[in-house]
Chain A
């Protein structure tokens, strides 16, 4: 893991903190030469190109961030092993997607705990519907909810969005969330079918 061999915990803590700490930690992992080389070698060995390796690593980091935020990362393996496991999964998904588009049928890989296929491999139709949901609220509400979902602290959000104080952020967040939920409750047809189960 390059410069972070003995500092995995610090990186995980930064990702857990969310906000700018999380971004910086993910950026460090993305720029780490050893991680990059390992991912590039793996992807190239499996018939891919360097550009695809970078893309797969980015997707893997997105999943890593989410899994840490959702407490799915249980420290059972070290961060680099865990991340590389996600990379392998992402690459298989990517190949499966490409081969499906070209008419070939590749079996779905075995599901593992870090898998969140819905995160990356959303169908275009589902993406459009989810976009529509976010557009039910104004741009400011949307931005606030994104910050909040990314675990930005209320203080950070207050500064970033000029809310003055934490209390205003809390109120505004509650208002935005209630608004979008109420709109959906009144218009259940806007909710994609897969979430009705």
Chain B
């Protein structure tokens, strides 16, 4: 096949011929098996060449210093959901532990037990005056004065003595803690007497202090 015809077929493939010329050449190709064979082969060669050219230009452009012109940002990495879940769980645990710590502390438990019946007593006797002073000091967290005031009350039978014992237990619970000997002794004193005015409260207090959650949070 002559070079000129080969060139024409190349131009046909590249769409460079005039419409009339194109139709003419296509008709010629359709009517000539050898030419058609050549045309098919030429199309494949053209496609292969174009693939090479594209690959060559791609490599050339990749070597062009274009990166320095733009600040490429790294693709944001997706944080795996399990990490978010773990972080949330840890946060919840911290919050729960903190809440439990404050709500199960000795002082917090002690605050749940009131001595209201005593507080409204009229201070008609000196004993009552001392007792009210002790209660007042207790609520002001002045445990030393509270104990001192209680010490002034003479031991005698009756409600005043039982109130004194209960208040003493609460003072030691808040000041020296539930594990202190002073507290244990004062609480045991109430618990040995089922008829004690504060027996049931002492029992409930003991139950709270020995609860599972209290032990879990204050395991040391």
Contacts and interface: CB of A to CB of B under 8 A. Distances in A.
Nearest to B76: A49
B65 interface: yes
Given A49-B75, A196-B40, A184 B65 contact: no
A185 B52 contact: no
B4 to A, nearest CB: 11
Interface string B43-63: 111011111111011101110
Contact of A62 (B15, B37, B54, B70): B54
A117 B51 CA distance: 12
A63 B49 CA distance: 14
B45 A70 contact: no
Interface in B44-95: 44-45, 47-54, 56-58, 60-62, 64-67, 69-70, 72-73, 75
Given A54-B66, A181-B38, A61 B61 contact: yes
B70 A130 contact: no
Could you tell me the dominant secondary structure of chain B's interface residues? Answer: helix
Given A36-B70, A184-B44, A127 B51 contact: yes
A192 B44 contact: yes
Could you tell me the dominant secondary structure of chain A's interface residues? Answer: helix
A185 to B, nearest CB: 5
B114 interface: no
B14 interface: yes
A58 interface: yes
Contacts of B50: 66, 119, 149
B159 interface: no
A122 B47 CA distance: 10
B57 A184 contact: no
Contact of A195 (B14, B44, B65): B44
B74 to A, nearest CB: 9
A12 interface: no
Contact of B70 (A50, A58, A196): A50
B56 A150 contact: yes
Interface string A171-197: 000100100110011001011100110
A41 to B, nearest CB: 11
Interface in A44-72: 49-51, 54, 58-59, 61-62, 65-66, 69-72
30 contacts: A23-B57, A26-B61, A27-B61, A30-B66, A31-B64, A31-B65, A31-B66, A36-B66, A36-B69, A49-B75, A50-B72, A51-B72, A54-B66, A61-B61, A65-B53, A71-B14, A71-B16, A72-B15, A122-B51, A133-B45, A146-B52, A146-B53, A149-B50, A149-B53, A177-B45, A180-B41, A181-B41, A188-B37, A188-B41, A195-B44
Given A40-B70, A70-B14, A181-B38, 10 more contacts: A26-B60, A31-B66, A58-B58, A62-B58, A66-B54, A71-B14, A130-B47, A130-B51, A177-B6, A192-B44
The 7 closest A-B pairs by CB, nearest first: A184-B41, A130-B48, A149-B49, A58-B61, A195-B43, A133-B48, A195-B44
